[in-house]
Each structure stands twice: as C-alpha cells, then as structure tokens.
C-alpha cells in the first residue's frame, strides 16, 4: 500500500479485530496512528466470538467475494507467520441440517459458486472428522468445507497491535469513554475521558455493536439488527477437536489450549438485558449448550463450563457490512459488521487504503452507509459537538461455578 498524500494522523477507536487491523494497515502505509480503546484490547465482541473463518451458505455475490478475499488474507498471514499456528488454523468445518430440513440445495449453491465443499455420507463422517459422533449427523449426511478454519482473536489482536506499534503507532488502552470531536461538520479528533484532546485528520469508528448508537448521536442512521448474545468457554477436554462444527443445536470451535467455544441461536435468544444495560445468561442455557455439544462429539464426553461472555453481537440491519466514509461528516469513517473475525484483515486493509489514498475501493461499493438511502440530520453534523463512544451495555465475563 502506498499513499499519494502527506502523512495523515488517524485516530482509530476500538480495540477489537476491526480497529486493530485498520490501525496496523494504516501504520504500515505511513500514517501517524493512534489506536484508542475504552478497556483493554480484545475485550468486546472480538473476545466472545466463534471466529469461524468462512463464506459458507448462500450470500450475495459481492459479499461472497469479499469473504473469499478475507480468507485469502488469513492464508497469506499464516504462510508469513508460522507461529500463527497457535491461534490460526485451517482444519475445515462440517455442518448438517436439522430435522425436516435438507442441505442438498446449500451444497449445490456452494459448488456452483466454486466454493470448496464435499458431501459426506454419515458412514464417512468418522474418517473425515473423527471427533464427530456419526449418530448425531443428519441421515442425509453433511457438508464438509476443508478450506475453512478459525482464529482465536484474543491472541491475534495483540499481534496486530504490536505490528502497528512497530510501525510507529501509539496504542492507548483503558481510555474510558472516548468522544469523537465534530467541528463544523468534520471529525477533527477525539476527546479522552480525562479531557485530553487528540487532534486527527481522520477518525475511524470501529466499536462493534455500539457503532449505530454512536452514529445516531451524530444524526446518522444505520439500520441495526444487533442482538445480545453469549458464547460459552468449556474447561479443557481430553478429546482432540480440530473441525469447526455448525450443527442444528450448537456450534463448536476448538481453542489452542484444548478448550472449546460454544454458541447457538436458541441460546442467544435467552440472554436477558437488564435495566442497567448488563446481560444475564440463564444457567439452563449454559447447561443446554454443554449437553448439545456433548451429543455431537465422539464418545459424548462430559463437558463443563469455565466461563461465559455476554454482550452485543454486531449485525447491520441487512446483515451485510457497513464500511467507509460517514456521509455529511468529513473525515469520519465507520466499520460495522457481523463476521468481524472473517472480515477483519481485509476490511482493515481496504479501509486503510481508502483513507491513505483518498480513492474508494470498488470492492466495498456494495457496503457503503448510503445504500440505505437515509439522510443525515444537518443540525447534528454541523457546528461543534462531541459524541460518546463508550460501549452500549455492559460486557459480562463470568466464571461458571461448578
């Protein structure tokens, strides 16, 4: 990446995968970068994600293409950083349909688009994924995607931050509530919780599920489907699990230390958002996930919970990414998306290149904020003002008492 303009000072708000990736790519491209996050790095949605690297299932052509580029960037990273084997794996993924459903059309769609997919009969499951209990697989069989994988973001994000600092970036953790300073319709910097002002030519808002509320405070509307959600981390298991499993009742992803990460749509829907903005996860949902995961693993091992992580799961209203300049507020850029793990490297790269060169990426054309055809209130985008960028709601990290 090369810049055609003088060195810019860019402040990136958000210490998750999208913020860290954008900061690293900006710094590598020659910008003066400050990465600011309310708490420690990787303490938001990035820390409680299945982080399955994929372009599985039916998607728009532009979104599928973006995700394929994203996976390519992870493969390049893996080749250049052999030590990444500790937090980045491409050991494949398997999925199957629930009762009354079929994945044959999904398989045909993936194959028609050139996606690497293999149909696996139930009798062959043990050969391809020995950690899976064949009896748990749908009678029709399953889809195996050998090119898919996972990334453990709490390990990866500090590596990206270190890469940014190696190129001169400054990282400020535990900054508390950070505010975007808007002067005469332009983002002129940020203000930290202690009143310190950091001037900037450009500001990037990469605060996960908090982005829509923060933009709304500036009069910018982005359709939002962000729910409360949680993932469950098990204690280490004796059996080796390598394949990411996406089953009708539970998703299972291995971790480098022998633990598993679990989640499910049905469990997510049981999260209670309290009046103070915190989140409560019912004990029966925790046990339910453990039971469902045991059913799909060979030998049906007894699983125990170590902790749960609950908070906002960023999802734009139409399910596809929102990335790029914020209309009517010069110098402000936003990145808001589901599947931040898969998209982290590529979105950081493309957004950084746009900021450095001033040229919009055609790859991101379908994902601009203005696709929603919503106006920006002029009174909110003019004059002098600030907007808080603290997390909406309280992140919940809790040990599970056995």
- Report the chain's terminal Cα–Cα distance, integer Å: 51
pLDDT beneath 50: ranges in the chain: 3-4, 374-397, 399-402
pLDDT of residue 5: 52
Q: What are the two backbone dihedrals, phi and then psi, of residue 143, each rounded to the nearest 5 degrees? A: -105, 130
pLDDT of residue 389: 36
pLDDT of residue 375: 41
**Rounded-to-10 torsion of CA 12, 228, 322, 30:** 20
Q: What are the two backbone dihedrals, phi and then psi, of residue 290, each rounded to the nearest 5 degrees? A: -60, -45
Residue-wise pLDDT tens digits, 302-336: 999 999 999 999 999 999 999 999 998 999 999 99
In a domain, 58, yes or no: no
Q: Tally Cβ neighbours within 10 Å of residue 29.
A: 21
The answer to whether the beta carbons of residues 341 and 265 sit under 8 Å apart is no
In a domain, 64, yes or no: no
Q: Are residues 274 and 382 in the same domain?
A: no
Q: Are residues 140 and 162 in the same domain?
A: no
Q: Are residues 36 and 172 in the same domain?
A: yes
The answer to whether the beta carbons of residues 269 and 295 sit under 8 Å apart is no
Max CA separation in the chain (angstroms): 67
pLDDT of residue 1: 55
Q: Comparing C-alpha atoms, which of 8, 30, 35 is closest to residue 19?
A: 35
Residue-wise pLDDT tens digits, 213-260: 999 998 999 999 999 999 999 999 998 999 999 999 999 999 999 999
Q: Are residues 251 and 290 in the same domain?
A: yes
Q: Are residues 249 and 302 in the same domain?
A: yes
CATH number, domain at 320?
Answer: 3.50.50.60
Dist. CA 309–CA 287, nearest whole Å: 15
Q: Comparing C-alpha atoms, which of 103, 348, 312 is closest to residue 213?
A: 312
Residue-wise pLDDT tens digits, 43-70: 999 999 999 999 998 889 999 999 999 9
Q: What is the pTM of this model?
A: 0.92
Q: Tally Cβ neighbours within 10 Å of residue 352.
A: 27
In order of 21, 25, 147, 151, the CA distances from 346 in angstroms are 8, 10, 17, 14
Q: Are residues 267 and 339 in the same domain?
A: no
Domain-terminating residue out of 312, 329, 357: 312
Q: Specify the number of domains making up the chain.
A: 2
Q: Comparing C-alpha atoms, which of 127, 222, 181, 165 is closest to residue 331?
A: 181
Domain-terminating residue out of 312, 344, 364: 312
Dist. CA 245–CA 284, nearest whole Å: 22
Q: Are residues 290 and 180 in the same domain?
A: no
Q: Are residues 331 and 196 in the same domain?
A: yes
CATH number, domain at 263?
Answer: 3.30.9.10
In a domain, 69, yes or no: no
Q: Note down the domain range covering 142.
A: 93-146+227-312
The answer to whether the beta carbons of residues 78 and 149 sit under 8 Å apart is no
Q: Comparing C-alpha atoms, which of 48, 17, 40 is closest to residue 396?
A: 48
The answer to whether the beta carbons of residues 328 and 321 sit under 8 Å apart is no
In a domain, 85, yes or no: no
User: Which residues, including other chains, have CB under 8 Å from residue 387's CB and lie 6 or more apart?
Assistant: 179, 180, 182, 214, 217, 218
Q: Give me 41's structure tokens.
A: 């790095």
Domain-terminating residue out of 275, 295, 312: 312
In order of 8, 57, 86, 211, the CA distances from 208 in angstroms are 24, 24, 25, 6
pLDDT of residue 131: 97
């Amino acid at each position: 990446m090369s810049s055609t303009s003088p060195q810019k000072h860019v402040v990136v708000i958000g210490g998750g995968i999208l913020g860290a990736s954008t900061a690293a790519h900006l710094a590598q491209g020659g910008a003066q970068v400050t990465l600011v996050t309310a708490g420690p790095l990787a303490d938001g949605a990035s820390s409680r994600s299945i982080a399955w690297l994929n372009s599985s299932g039916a998607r728009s052509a532009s979104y599928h293409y973006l995700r394929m580029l994203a996976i390519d960037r992870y493969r390049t990273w893996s080749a250049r950083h052999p030590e990444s084997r500790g937090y980045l794996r491409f050991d494949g993924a398997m999925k199957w349909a629930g009762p009354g459903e079929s994945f044959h059309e999904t398989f045909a769609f993936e194959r028609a688009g050139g996606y690497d997919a293999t149909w696996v009969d139930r009798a062959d499951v043990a050969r391809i994924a020995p950690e899976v209990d064949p009896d748990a697989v749908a009678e029709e069989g399953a889809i195996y995607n050998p090119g898919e994988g996972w990334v453990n973001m709490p390990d990866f994000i500090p590596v990206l931050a270190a890469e940014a600092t190696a190129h001169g970036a400054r990282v400020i953790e535990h900054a508390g509530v950070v505010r975007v300073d808007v002067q005469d319709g332009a983002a002129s910097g940020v203000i930290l919780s202690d009143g310190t002002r950091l001037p900037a030519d450009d500001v990037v808002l990469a605060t996960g599920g908090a982005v829509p509320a923060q933009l709304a405070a500036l009069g910018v509307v982005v359709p939002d489907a962000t729910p409360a959600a949680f993932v469950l981390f098990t204690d280490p298991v004796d059996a080796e699990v390598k394949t990411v499993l996406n089953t009708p009742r539970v998703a299972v992803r291995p971790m480098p230390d022998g633990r598993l990460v679990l989640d499910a749509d049905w469990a997510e829907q049981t999260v209670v958002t309290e009046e103070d903005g915190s989140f409560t996860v019912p004990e029966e949902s925790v046990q339910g996930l453990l039971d469902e995961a045991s059913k799909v693993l060979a030998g049906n091992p007894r699983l125990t919970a170590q902790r749960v992580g609950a908070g906002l799961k960023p999802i734009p209203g139409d399910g596809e990414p929102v990335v790029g300049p914020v209309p009517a507020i010069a110098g402000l850029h936003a990145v808001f998306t589901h599947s931040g793990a898969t998209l982290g490297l590529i979105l950081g790269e493309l957004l950084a290149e746009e900021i450095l060169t001033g040229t919009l990426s055609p790859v991101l054309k379908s994902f601009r904020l203005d696709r929603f055809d919503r106006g920006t209130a002029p009174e909110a985008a003019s004059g002098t003002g600030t907007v808080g960028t603290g997390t909406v709601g309280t992140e919940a990290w809790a040990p599970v008492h056995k």
